[in-house]
Amino acid sequence: MKSREPLIRAKRFKIEDARRRLAQIDTMVGEFDRMAAEMERDIAAEEQRSGITDPKHFAYSPLAASARQRRENLVRSADELRGQRAEAQAAFEEAEAELVLVEAAGERERTAEGDVIERRHAWRQGEPARL
């Protein structure tokens, strides 16, 4: 029987790759959330300094307006990454399930091969075959 070790290694690599991707996405989401919170504080400080909190007001601070736009972009990007994380999590779980199946099939093969070898040995020794 052909060894399943290369297939098992490939499945384990796929799991590690998915795990790294999840970690990268989590890091990016955390960083974007932190930056958005920082922007929110900057916006509040600029609005307080200027005394105008309505973004539609004609004299609204251009600094606050640009910071508000950057914050919205960060929030949108973080939300998109959360969607990608859900997909990456599903891929990770699928890869884990595939590995379990491949390992189980390999174990069944080893057990079956062991049984065949044991029966051959018993046959050569003239012992009755066990089923």
What is the spatial distance between Cα 118 and Cα 103, in angstroms, rounded to a whole number? 22
What is the spatial distance between Cα 85 and Cα 24, in angstroms, rounded to a whole number? 9
Residue at token pair 């991707």: 21
Quote the number of domains for the chain.
1
Picking from 17, 18, 29, the residue whose alpha carbon sits closest to that of residue 81 is 29
The answer to whether residue 75 sits within a structural domain is yes
Q: Write the pLDDT tens digit of every residue in 12-22.
A: 899 999 999 99
pTM of the model: 0.71
In sequence order, the 6+-apart residues with CB closer than 8 A to the CB of 73 are none
- What is the pLDDT averaged over residues 68-78? 97
The answer to whether residue 127 sits within a structural domain is no
DSSP state of 127: P
Q: How confident is the model at residue 117 (pLDDT cuts 50, 70, 90)?
A: low
The answer to whether residue 117 sits within a structural domain is no
The answer to whether residue 130 sits within a structural domain is no
The answer to whether residue 119 sits within a structural domain is no
Q: pLDDT > 90: what percent of the chain?
A: 64
Domain limits at 46? 5-104
The answer to whether residue 131 sits within a structural domain is no
Q: How confident is the model at residue 1 (pLDDT cuts 50, 70, 90)?
A: very low
The CATH code of the domain that includes 52 is: 1.10.287
The answer to whether residue 110 sits within a structural domain is no
Q: How confident is the model at residue 2 (pLDDT cuts 50, 70, 90)?
A: low
Tell me which amino acid residue 72 is: E
**Comparison of pLDDT for 99 and 25, the residue scoring more:** 25
